[in-house]
C-alpha cells in the first residue's frame, strides 16, 4: 500500500472514530471499550476489500472463459496450438478466418 493510501486510510479512520465518540470523552470518564466504535470501520474496510477481490476474481474468470472459448473455436476450425509448426502464422490466420474471429481479439 502506498504512503498516500495509508495516510488517506488513517485520516478516514480518525474521522470515523472521532464521529463515533472514540476520542470524545470527558476528563474523568473512562474511554469506551475498544470494541465499541472503531470495529465497524475495520469490518467495513474488510467488506470493501472482499468485494474488490471478488470483482477481480470474477473479471479474471470471465477473461479466462472468453480466451478458452476463442481457442476452442479456433481448434474446431482446424488450428492446432503447440508443438513446432512451421506454418504457424498462416494456420492461425486461416483458422481465424474460418471461425470469424478478429486477429488479435484476445488482446
Q: How far is CA 55 from the centre of its chain?
A: 5
For the chain, give every domain's residue range: 3-19+34-99
For the segment 8-32, what is each residue's pLDDT rounded down to a tens digit?
766 666 666 655 554 444 554 555 5
Q: How far is CA 72 from the centre of its chain?
A: 26
Cα 105 from Cα 8, distance rounded (Å): 39
Cα 74 from Cα 64, distance rounded (Å): 15
Q: Which has the higher per-residue pLDDT, 86 or 28? A: 86
For the segment 29-68, what is each residue's pLDDT rounded down to a tens digit?
555 554 455 567 778 999 999 999 999 999 999 999 999 9
Dihedral angle computed from the Cα positions of residues 70, 75, 81 and 87, in that order, rounded to the nearest 10 degrees: -110
Give the angle subtended at the CA of 75 by the CAs of 69 and 79, to the nearest 5°: 135
Q: Which has the higher per-residue pLDDT, 82 or 97? A: 97
Amino acid at each position: 500500500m502506498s504512503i498516500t493510501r495509508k495516510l488517506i486510510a488513517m485520516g478516514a479512520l480518525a474521522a470515523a472514530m472521532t464521529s463515533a465518540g472514540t476520542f470524545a470523552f470527558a476528563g474523568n470518564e473512562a474511554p469506551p471499550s475498544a470494541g465499541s466504535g472503531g470495529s465497524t470501520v475495520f469490518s467495513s474496510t474488510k467488506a470493501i476489500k472482499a468485494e474488490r477481490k471478488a470483482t477481480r476474481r470474477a473479471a479474471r474468470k470471465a477473461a479466462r472463459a472468453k480466451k478458452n472459448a476463442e481457442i476452442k473455436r479456433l481448434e474446431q476450425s482446424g488450428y492446432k496450438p503447440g508443438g513446432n509448426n512451421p506454418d504457424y502464422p498462416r494456420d492461425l490466420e486461416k483458422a481465424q478466418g474460418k471461425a470469424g474471429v478478429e486477429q488479435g481479439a484476445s488482446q
